[in-house]
A and B are shown apart, each in its own frame.
Chain A
Amino acid sequence: MSRSIEISENQRKFLLESLKHGFRLTDRPFDHVRDISLYLSPTEYGYVEVSWGKTKLACRVTATVTTPYEDRPFEGIFTINSEISTMASMRFDTSRSNEEILIARIIEKAVRRSNSLDLESLCIIAGEKVWEITVDLNYLNYDGNFIDVGCFAVMLALHHFKKPDISINGNSIVVHDINERQPVPLSILHIPICLTYSFYNLTDKESNIKGEDADEICLLDADLLEELNRDGSLVITLNKNRELIQLSKNGGLPISAQQFLELTFKSMKTIDQLTDLIKTKIKEHEELRYKTENFKLLEASADR
Chain B
Amino acid sequence: MAFQVQMSVLDNSDGSAELIIGNTKVIASVSGPIEPKQRQELPNQASLEIIIRPAKGLSTTREKLLEDKLRALLQSIIIRYKYPRQLISIVVQFLVTDEDPKFTANELNAAINCCYFALIDADIALYSSFASVVSCITENKLIQNPTGKELSQSDSHHVVCFNIQEGKADKILLLESQGEFVQEELFNLLSESVSNAEELHTLQRKYLKEKIDQDYIWK
Contact present for A3 and B34 (CB under 8 Å): yes
B55 at the interface (CB under 8 A from A): yes
A interface residues, tally (CB under 8 Å) = 27
Contact present for A1 and B31 (CB under 8 Å): yes
- Binding-face segment, B91-99, B163-171, B173-181: B91-99
- Binding-face segment, B5-13, B71-79, B152-160, B211-219: B5-13
Which residues from 1 to 21 on chain A have a C-beta closer than 8 Å to any C-beta of chain B?
1-3
Contact present for B95 and A86 (CB under 8 Å): no
A120 at the interface (CB under 8 A from B): no
Contact present for A87 and B13 (CB under 8 Å): yes
A280 to B139, CA, bound (A): 48
A87 to B11, CA, bound (A): 9
Contact present for A87 and B58 (CB under 8 Å): no
Contact present for A138 and B13 (CB under 8 Å): no
Contact present for B93 and A87 (CB under 8 Å): yes
List chain A residues, Cβ under 8 A from B89. Answer: 86
A89 at the interface (CB under 8 A from B): yes
User: Contact partner of B34 among A2, A54, A60, A94, CB < 8 A?
Assistant: A2
B interface residues, tally (CB under 8 Å) = 23
Contact present for A90 and B51 (CB under 8 Å): no
B53 at the interface (CB under 8 A from A): yes
7 closest residue pairs by CB, A with B: A87-B91, A89-B12, A87-B29, A141-B10, A1-B31, A85-B91, A1-B14
Q: A81-B58, A90-B34 are in contact. List 12 more A-B contacts (CB 8 A).
A: A1-B34, A2-B35, A41-B96, A49-B95, A81-B57, A83-B58, A85-B91, A86-B89, A87-B93, A136-B58, A138-B53, A140-B27
27 pairs of residues in contact across A and B, judged by CB atoms under 8 Å: A1-B31, A1-B34, A41-B96, A49-B95, A54-B11, A58-B93, A60-B55, A81-B57, A81-B58, A83-B53, A83-B58, A85-B53, A86-B29, A86-B91, A87-B27, A87-B91, A87-B93, A89-B12, A90-B12, A90-B31, A90-B34, A136-B57, A138-B95, A140-B10, A140-B27, A141-B9, A143-B11
Residues on B lying within 8 angstroms of A by beta carbon are 9-14, 16, 27, 29, 31, 34-35, 51, 53, 55-58, 89, 91, 93, 95-96
